Amino acid sequence: MDLEKLATNFQQKINEEIKIEPKDWMPDAYRKTNIRQISQHAHSEIVGMLPEGNWITRAPSLKRKAILLAKIQDEAGHGLYLYSAAETLGISREEMLEQLHTGKAKYSSIFNYPSLTWADMGAIGWLVDGAAIVNQIILCRTSYGPYSRAMIRICKEESFHQRQGFEILWVLSQGTKEQKAMCQDAINRWWWPSLMMFGPKDDESPNTAQSLAWKIKIKTNDELRQQFVDMIAEQVKVLGMTLPDPNLKWNTKKLHYDFGEINWQEFWNVVNGNGPCNKQRLNARIKAHKDGAWVREAASAYAAKKNQPQSKVA
């Protein structure tokens, strides 16, 4: 079959909502875009464990500690699902880790912000995981089969993350004056970075049009961001807290919330490596990988030894 015919067949499958599977023919750019998006997503899950890991030993009770551990373990699992999905496109795990550790591959810029107080664990669960879920639910319908299956599995597990986050803030919002202030402070610091999680505006997002045509993306960054704002603007009322945006207002014509302009300079700064914790996060990742090297080697050596034909023992 010639290239043109293959490309036509491919697009036809996409249009008919038939998933693309690893061994099917696909345009090189489709493969590349998926590798980029899925591996960045995987890196985000893995780096995302770090801001929360910061609070495991300082969680206020054994219950909270157990919950936080379970949540972080989920994120390691989500990273694995996604790395496996990316591997089906022909990139190796080692290559992906290499790209992360050298800074060639990006991860969600949200994880370059510090988690300063216990209330941040609540805000991260509610806002950061909340934004992730909005993104991920729609990605369950993405055209690449292994990515879609990974997303379905992740979404099943993710809802506990958002609920436990909201519950942390809910408890604080019912507490002392100081606890209430801590709750509001965490919301103030995490709100804008959460909005940035949806990426650049549609007219400044160069990959969006092609990704939509290939159904790698189903909705645009701005559509998803709006959906998130509408959801959170209602939920924050339950907490008796506010969002740090004087322009946030229900628009009776559009039937959506209007909201203020995101600080895009800050966004690009963090994406380009100059956020508050970029260095710290990457160093922690590299250290963990290096410190674990002897375990990987020992396991390989043990497996190789066991596989050797047994010599006769008298």
Residue 1 makes contact with other proteins by CB under 8 A: yes
Contact status, residue 78 vs residue 154, Cβ threshold 8 Å: yes
Q: Are 149 and 85 in contact (CB under 8 A)?
A: yes
Question: Quick one: 308 exposed, middle or buried, by C-beta within 10 A (0-12, 13-18, 19+)?
Answer: exposed
Residue span 109-148 as binding mask against other proteins, x where in contact by CB under 8 A, dash where not: -------------------------------------x--
User: What is the C-alpha separation between 90 and 32, in angstroms, rounded?
Assistant: 10
* Three-class DSSP category at 142: coil
Pattern 31-60, other proteins, x by CB under 8 A: ------------------------------
Q: CA–CA separation, 137 vs 68, rounded Å?
A: 23
Of 57, 306, 310, 314, the residue at the interface with other proteins (CB under 8 A) is 306
H-helix segments, 128-176: 129-139, 145-173
Measured distance CA(126)–CA(123) in Å, rounded? 5
Minimum gap (Å) between residue 262 Cβ and other proteins: 36
Told to check if 77 binds other proteins by CB under 8 A, we report: yes
DSSP 3-state assignment of 258?
Answer: strand
- Smallest distance, Å, CB 217 to other proteins? 22
Taking the least distance from each CB to other proteins, the nearer of 98 and 204 is: 98
Under rule CB under 8 A, residue 87 binds other proteins: yes
Give CA–CA dist 38/84, Å, rounded: 9
Assess 153 for contact with other proteins (CB under 8 A): yes
- In the complex, which residues of this chain contact other proteins (CB under 8 A)? 1-3, 6, 21-25, 28, 70, 73-74, 77, 80-81, 84, 87-90, 92-94, 146, 149-150, 153, 157, 296, 299-300, 302-303, 306-307
